[in-house]
Amino acid sequence: MKLSDYVKKRTGVPLGQSGSLRNMLHRSLGAGKFSIFWQYWNPIWGFYLGKLIFKPLKSFLPNAVSLLITFVVSGFIHDLVIIVLTKQFTLLLTPWFLFMGLCVIIGDYANIDYSKYAWIIRATINIAIIFSCLFFAYQVKI
């Protein structure tokens, strides 16, 4: 699948088209599972993480381990940008993404599904998970 096809599948509109950001936010925040949130969030970044990290890893590792490593790599890349810009070593986003990856895995394993609730409730749950993971990441910040 090409990037343009992937973005259209995730946002409902072609790459670069007006409404892409709005659709991404609406679909991701309103997802009925935390793993579905990540299918819609930042489709360009997700496309490359899937193609370059997740798919190669899952050829020899279990899906859950591959997913967790992909989240950690994504967090570390985000941290690297901050390290380069601030010239200070700190890891906050790496543990944050680790915790979010764990939530995806645990949520899928436990089959946690809140899709029957109204969009605002689903969005609140997804945001609460994200900020809870951020809170825990601050507790272990390096």
Instruction: Using alpha carbons, list the distances in angstroms from residue 93 to 31, 37, 98, 104, 121.
Output: 22, 18, 8, 16, 26
Q: For residue range 60-99, what is the model confidence (pLDDT) as tens digits?
A: 999 999 999 999 999 999 999 999 999 999 899 999 999 9
Residues 6+ apart with CB under 8 A from 122: 29, 30, 31, 32, 114, 115
State the DSSP string of 115-134: TTS-HHHHHHHHHHHHHHHH
Task: Specify the pTM.
Answer: 0.91
